Structure 1
Amino acid sequence: MSLRLSTVILPHVRWHEGGRAAWQRAEELGFHTAFTYDHLSWRTFRDGPWFGAVPTLTAAAGATTRLRLGTLVTSPNFRHPVTLAKELISLDDISGGRITLGIGAGGTGFDATTLLGSGERPWTPRERADRFGEFVPLLDRLLTEDSVSHDGTFYSAYEARNIPGCVQRPRLPFAVAATGPRGLRLAARHGQAWVTTGDPKLFETGTPEDSVRALRGQIERLTAACDAIGRDAAGLDKVLLTGFTPDRGRPMESLDAFVDFAGRHRELGFTDLVIHWPIPDSDFAADEKVFERIATEAVAQLG
């Protein structure tokens, strides 16, 4: 099984002070896709510069010609399906059909509470899953139908027009981030790819071997969700966003370490690995020369 290598470029650098150069370099290095986080702010970057995902991807579309582009991931935390669909159709057009939407239920980070009014509490995991379960099918319709009306529990649309639709047909691909049963069913039904970061419970105290077992279990559950609707799970790309397993940054310490890591996860059935663009003095710090060797040599070494 062949393996594709992609990257995540966080939107924390001004476009004319290194932002543009990073996206162009990602294309030069041969990455399959360059993603960015769709957040209002994120963890340790909260008190520093942080730019919007859609304007960043629009600029990246104009600065590149071959590289696929996308979010990893967008969530209902601060998005509405109707307005998001319009932005995605526009992005797909500007990029010439190079957009992938990574989408998930959202977590408890800063942008999960930014829009809350006084006295409002954050959504529970069940409430996030409920919204996600309505969000994804509605977004699917909005990106494939010329006019959509919907009166749901959480979202409404009245004759929402999305003409001419996506450049990619029937719509741009969804990469659905999920580990629970409801999310995996959404991935099976609506996804062209499935995304995971591993089992977060293992990050602090688990071992790489524990992580491999957990990921194998996730893929088995995804396969069962596909089987339940008569879909062949082999046709669904399987994407691991690296940096959140017990290995942490160790696979990025050398080309050999990464090739070993990549080989173990390819054997599990992953089709795509995503590595973070190096950011000094952060969780994603890495030697830039090693990073570029991984980008240009690792896949070939896997054979």
Structure 2
Amino acid sequence: MRLSTVILPIHRWGEGQKTWRRAEELGFHTAYTYDHLSWRTFRDGPWFGALPTLTAAATVTDRLRLGTLVTSPNFRHPVTLAKELISLDDVSDGRVTLGIGAGGTGFDATALGQEPWTPRERADRFAEFVPLLDRLLTQDAVSYEGDFYSAHEARNIPGCVQRPRLPFAVAATGPRGLKLAARYGQAWVTTGDPKLFEEGTPEQSRAALAGQVDRLGAACAEIGRDVGELDKILLHGFTPDRNTPLESVDAFVDFAGRHRELGFTEIVVHWPIPGSDFAADEKVFERIALEAPAHLR
């Protein structure tokens, strides 16, 4: 099982780069960042762009994989996103994973002046966004006219360093999203069942996650794909037992081990941010990074 982290883009680069370097030193598999314009309790504080941050991180690291968790159509267009991803993949020498999801309500959904999309429209847009982005990242020139997105002779030469393109980690829990993950994903991402966040139990959460894994398997079987080909990523911090795993190495190993039994291959933990929902003892956090992977092999 792999251990990765999310580093929120809340510090000016002179300070923030130290965290990305430290993530590599601690041996994390991937360091992701959120691709938002602003986010929740951090809305009125510093928040920097995801892709420039990842590009800068690529220049101060050598081995660490880098990624978004997640990018969405809320304020992205496939044509411009593809160009930026190809550039980032080049700068990082092929160390980028695109976490991608349908997006949601909140600040990103209205920042460009539009009315928030309904869940149905978000799903419709995502179903068009992902296949078009796949084409843009694998073909030299693309023309396309869809219901929501268009491309006219969009050129993306020389393409990604990673072939045929950089990997997609598709965030999904509903049937349409899981079908996209099955067809286009190299990985699948979930945060668990949001209905259980406040009042659910760890047992209920694991049962819900097991159901999601089963439905992903069914979506893969429908198109003749082996679900074992997809990495299964759990973003920690949104399940009922969100606080316990970072209290000690043993607690984390127990948490991760129980989810490995469900089929998960990667756990992503938030880099500690004092005074926030992601506050944690930094010394314990570093011990988990250094010691837990050996217990989970």
Q: Give me the TM-score of the superposition, normalised by structure 1.
A: 0.97
Q: Quick check: 1:28 aligned with 2:25?
A: yes
In the alignment, is residue 64 of structure 1 matched against residue 61 of structure 2?
A: yes
1:132-281 matched pairs, under 5 angstroms: 132-281=126-275
**Corresponding residue to 1:96 among 82, 93, 96:** 93
Cα distance in 2 for residues equivalent to 1:253 and 1:131: 40
User: Displacement, 1:250?
Assistant: 1.4
AA partner of residue 168 (structure 1): Q
Equivalent AA in structure 2 for residue 85 of structure 1: A
Q: CA deviation at 1:202?
A: 0.3
CA contact (8 A) 1:37 1:72 kept: yes
Summarize the alignment of residues 103-118 of structure 1 with structure 2, pairs less than 5 Å apart.
103-117=100-114
Identity %: 81
CA distance in 2, matches of 1:167, 1:14: 29
* CA RMSD across the alignment: 0.6
User: Once superposed, which parts of structure 1, at least 4 consecutive aligned residues long, lie more than 3 Å away?
Assistant: none
What is the CA–CA distance in structure 2 between the aligned matches of 1:224 and 1:155, rounded to whole Å? 29
CA contact (8 A) 1:40 1:52 kept: yes
Tell me which residue corresponds to 1:297: 291
How far did 1:302 drift?
Answer: 2.7
| Residue in 1 that maps onto 2:75 | 78
Deviations 1:74-118 (A, max 9, x none): 00000000000000000000000000000000011211111125x
CA distance in 2 between counterparts of 1:240 and 1:263 reads 12
CA positional deviation for 1:127: 0.5
Contact 1:116 1:122 in 2 (8 A): no
Cα distance in 1 for partners of 2:164, 2:142 equals 15
Count of residues paired in the alignment:
297
Give the counterpart letter for 1:58 in structure 2: T
Aligned to 2:8: 10
Q: Does 1:44 align with 2:41?
A: yes
The gaps in structure 2 that reach 5 residues or longer are none
CA deviation profile, 1:169-196 (whole Å, cap 9, x unmatched): 0000000000000000000000000000
Give 1:247's aligned amino acid. Answer: D
Structure 2 residue identity aligned to 1:104 = G
More deviation in 71-80 or 251-260?
A: 251-260
Aligned AA (1:21): K
Query: Structure 2: how far apart are the matches of 1:33 and 1:76?
Result: 23
